[in-house]
Amino acid sequence: MPRRTAILISGRGSNMAALIDAAQRPSYPAEIALVLSNRPDAAGLAYAESAGIETAVLASKGYLSREAFDKALHARLNEANIELVCLAGFMRVLTKTFVEAWRDRLINIHPSLLPLFPGLDTHARAISAGVRIHGCTVHFVRAEVDQGPIIAQAAVPLLSADTEETLAARVLAAEHRIYPLALNLVAAGKAHVVDERVVIDDARTERAGEAVVSPEFE
Ligand code: GRF
């Protein structure tokens, strides 16, 4: 049985769309059972609805505290019998209690090669730092923001002519490739956390996910 998975969004939802599309393949080990947004105007909600997926809005403005919001979120996920949760542009810091309740069942995508550039404005910071290689990371979530065992990463070149926008677009294309790959590994039970590092069951599966490079350079 595919694992019942929720995607949490706050906006555009392009990673959400990539996960929805991947999960439509019959052999995919996860089923997107719920898309939940903390903002009623998140553009991604319309795509999820058009794909026939249950959607929910939990407006963060309506809650007095972070704890109260996370408690309602936890209840909503349980009500939908959710087993795995993917954060996809979900612009909220989650409480330690929530993160611990979903330990090793909660994953996030971040637009940098972690542990480099946690936090916001990753593309501008990569350009200022003068790095030649930039990228994205899918990781299990821990209470510290943008930390946690790494499941998959993709590298893209940073070119001299890059602006924040051109770099963001190149990284985003890579995000859309590795997020479905990472969820596949987790949902199939092939990615295990051992001593706060991810161990992938078999070498062939692991090689399939390594060092994805920007499409135009393949
Ligand atoms: C992505 O760059 C993701 O890495 C970051 O927020 C952005 C969300 O974009 N966490 P989208 O909503 O998936 O299009």
Angle of helix 14-23 versus helix 164-187 axis, rounded to 10: 30
Query: Cβ(135) to ligand 1 under 6 A?
Result: no
* Residue from 7, 121, 145, 172 to probe ligand 1 pocket by mutation (most atoms less than 8 Å from CB): 172
The reported pLDDT for the residue numbered 146 is 96
Q: How close is the Cα of 15 to the center of ligand 1, in Å?
A: 6
Judged against a pLDDT cut of 90, whether residue 213 lies above it is answered with no
- Residues 188-211 have pLDDT tens digits of 999 999 999 999 987 666 665 555
Atom 12 of ligand 1 has which residue's CA nearest to it? 13
Please give the CATH topology (third level) of the domain spanning 109-218. Rossmann fold (3.40.50)
Instruction: Say what the pLDDT of residue 216 is.
Output: 47
pLDDT at 79 over 50: yes
Question: What is the average per-residue pLDDT within 62-68?
Answer: 94
Determine the average pLDDT of the residues in 182-189.
Answer: 96
- Give the type of residue at 121: D
pLDDT band at 18 (very low <50, low <70, confident <90, very high): very high
Is the CB–ligand 1 distance for residue 178 below 6 Å? no
Q: Is the CB of 148 under 6 A from ligand 1?
A: no
Pocket flag, ligand 1, residue 184 (CB < 6 Å)? no
With pLDDT > 90 as the criterion, what percentage of the chain qualifies?
90
The stretch 7-33 carries a mean pLDDT of 98
**pTM recorded for the entire structure:** 0.94
For a substitution probing ligand 1, which of 175, 176, 178, 183 has the most ligand atoms within 8 Å of its CB?
A: 175
pLDDT at 217 exceeding the cut of 70: no
Task: Give me the pLDDT at residue 207, please.
Answer: 66
Per-residue pLDDT tens digits for 145-178:
999 999 999 999 999 999 999 999 999 999 999 9
Model confidence over 93-118: pLDDT tens digits? Answer: 999 999 999 999 999 999 999 999 99
Residue 212 has pLDDT above 90, yes or no: no
Instruction: Answer yes or no: is the C-beta of 118 below 6 A from any ligand 1 atom.
Output: no
38 lines ligand 1 (CB under 6 A): no
Number of residues that make up the chain: 218
What is the reported pLDDT for 218? 41
Residue 186 has pLDDT above 90, yes or no: yes
Mean pLDDT for the stretch of residues 132-156 = 96
Within the chain, which residue ranges are assigned CATH 3.40.50.170? Answer: 1-102, 109-218
CATH topology classification for 1-102: Rossmann fold (3.40.50)
The tokens for 174 are 């890579």
Annotated catalytic residues are 110
Cβ 17 vs Cβ 177: under 8 Å: no
CA of 54 to the centre of ligand 1 (A): 21
CA separation (Å) from 36 to 43, 92, 190, 214? 12, 13, 26, 30
